[in-house]
Structure 1
Amino acid sequence: MTILKAIIVDDEEFARSSLFFLLQQNCPDIEITGIARSVAEAKDIIANHPIDLIFLDIAMPGGNGFELIPEAQKQHAAVIFTTAYDQYALRAIKANALDYLLKPIDIDELKIAVEKVTQHLRLFQNKHETDERISNLANSLGSRSEIKKLTLPYGQGFKMIDVDDIIYIEADSNYSIVHLNNENKITVSKILREFEEILPNEQFVRIHKSSIINLNHLKEYNSKNGLQVFLNNGESMNISRRRASDFFEKIKLFTKASSDH
């Protein structure tokens, strides 16, 4: 069993000690080589010890957790973010397919997150890819703007796409098929609800239990054969009755926002 060296970075004493205890009791392949109360302390530990994994709090007094990213990237260390509930932060983390633990940390969620990260480190070793995902997250949280890029599990790694390139997403059992404007499509192991939580709310609308469309790619809609949308790629799709009022409300807001710009 390969032991991964990890550090915990959190300004809250209870959060540090409880995570340390949970890791010792439940994750035998993780060795905690340092515990830091601040970004400055963490930088010193990273500079003097080889690190495979960082449990990183995002919001800390005296320094944002993202200040550690350049140091983490130098050692190609994986990162599991630990955060209190912050809706935007969670959206950005999920959009970049990065691992996180929501405080207070659940034992089973901790085990799952550690297993995912250790498997990725051991099997794929795609360092550039992880670095880019973390950089995208830092940029998103720095600007607090809408999510612009999405990281999708693909084959033995991840594919990064621009949100604007998505035409629509269709459900396929426990999977979703993402259709892009270059006629490519990607099948990912996410359900539509997960995309609803991540994608910009005013740009994307769920028109059916099995489909979400990007309003930027909407060409027209009419009710000649039941309520339908027609997309720029030539495809047409039905709008379910229960989704119709939400669709028209989104159209109204989207049109207003477009005219304001």
Structure 2
Amino acid sequence: MPEVRVAIVEDEPPARAKLRRLLASRAGWRIVGEAEDVAGGTALLRDAAPDLLFLDIQLGAENGFDVLARTAPPHPLVVFTTAYHEHALRAFDVAALDYLLKPFDRARFAQCLERVAARLAERSGDDGGADDEERLRRVGDLGRAGRLVRLVVHERGRARIVPVADVLRLSASGNYVEVHTRERRHLVRATLSRLAQRLDPGEFLRVHRSHLVRADFIAATAPHAHGDLALTLRDGTELLLSRRYRALLPADWRGG
């Protein structure tokens, strides 16, 4: 693999030092510059043209997304480094290749570099980078982002990607949302309302202020007290559809 040019934008000196140490132990990875704020980061990307950018999200009063929004494509591959997992959804919306949740260890960092190397190898053989650049152009307009196609969950310090196509239902749980798939249950630090805004309403029905359910996962409905409906899901789970959300069901599902 050709030498990989690496840039680091991180406002904490110890975090920059850790990245330097980890990269120094691996041949073929060369740091071409460091910055500690958005202004320095934008200048670094413009002048050094790195292949890979390690980018902290929290940069004083600004954030790492501003670095990308203020620089023109082509952009390098981006790996976000942060102690705050709630930014993960936005990170992958702008085509981040990886998301290192601090504190990460040497093994997790090695996994990240393997992913970078694989992606660079793909880019050398096709024009896949064009797709990444197109998504990065949307960084300044995420408020109007399209439907979610994946959720990012964090388990034991690792980011796991859960395709929305695998999600059967979601339920509010304090400051988190429980994401249920056929295999297991995951936790995402988000609000149900926020996720509902990004999910296709034709696929996911709001059946209660605490529940979203994939429409084709509903097996049966039955009348319940006070105008509510009892829902039976295909795995046998029973939920109550409150009268407030009954109008969101297809008309032929509501009964009398």
* 1:252 alignment partner in structure 2: 242
* 1:130 alignment partner in structure 2: 132
State the secondary structure of the residue aligned to 2:39: helix
CA separation of 1:81 and 1:16: change in aligned 2, threshold 3 A: same
Spell out structure 1 runs of 4+ moving beyond 6 A. none
Gaps of 5+ in 1: 153-162, 172-189, 205-212, 230-236
Aligned counterparts of 2:100 and 2:88: Cα–Cα separation in 1: 10
* 1:222 alignment partner in structure 2: 221
Aligned counterparts of 2:94 and 2:45: Cα–Cα separation in 1: 24
Matched, 1:24 2:21: no
The offset of 1:138, in angstroms, is 5.6
TM-score, length-scaled by structure 1: 0.60
* 2:108 alignment partner in structure 1: 109
* 2:89 alignment partner in structure 1: 91
Q: CA RMSD for the aligned pairs?
A: 4.0
Q: Which amino acid aligns with 1:215?
A: L
CA separation of 1:191 and 1:90: change in aligned 2, threshold 3 A: farther
Which deviations, in whole Å up to 9, do the C-alpha atoms of 1:159-190 show, x marking residues without a partner?
xxxx9xx7x6479xxxxxxxxxxxxxxxxxx9
CA separation of 1:238 and 1:127: change in aligned 2, threshold 3 A: same
* 1:100 alignment partner in structure 2: 99
The offset of 1:72, in angstroms, is 5.7
CA separation of 1:256 and 1:107: change in aligned 2, threshold 3 A: farther
CA contact (8 A) 1:78 1:117 kept: yes
CA contact (8 A) 1:73 1:131 kept: no
CA separation of 1:254 and 1:214: change in aligned 2, threshold 3 A: farther
Question: Percent identity, aligned pairs only?
Answer: 24
CA contact (8 A) 2:6 2:32 kept: yes
Aligned counterparts of 1:16 and 1:223: Cα–Cα separation in 2: 59
CA separation of 1:97 and 1:78: change in aligned 2, threshold 3 A: closer
The offset of 1:146, in angstroms, is 9.3
Aligned residue runs from structure 1 range 53-72, under 5 A: 53-70=52-69
CA contact (8 A) 1:91 1:197 kept: no
The offset of 1:113, in angstroms, is 1.4
The offset of 1:67, in angstroms, is 2.0
Question: Which structure shows the higher helix fraction?
Answer: 1
Matched, 1:33 2:32: yes
CA contact (8 A) 1:7 1:53 kept: yes
Q: How many residues align?
A: 198
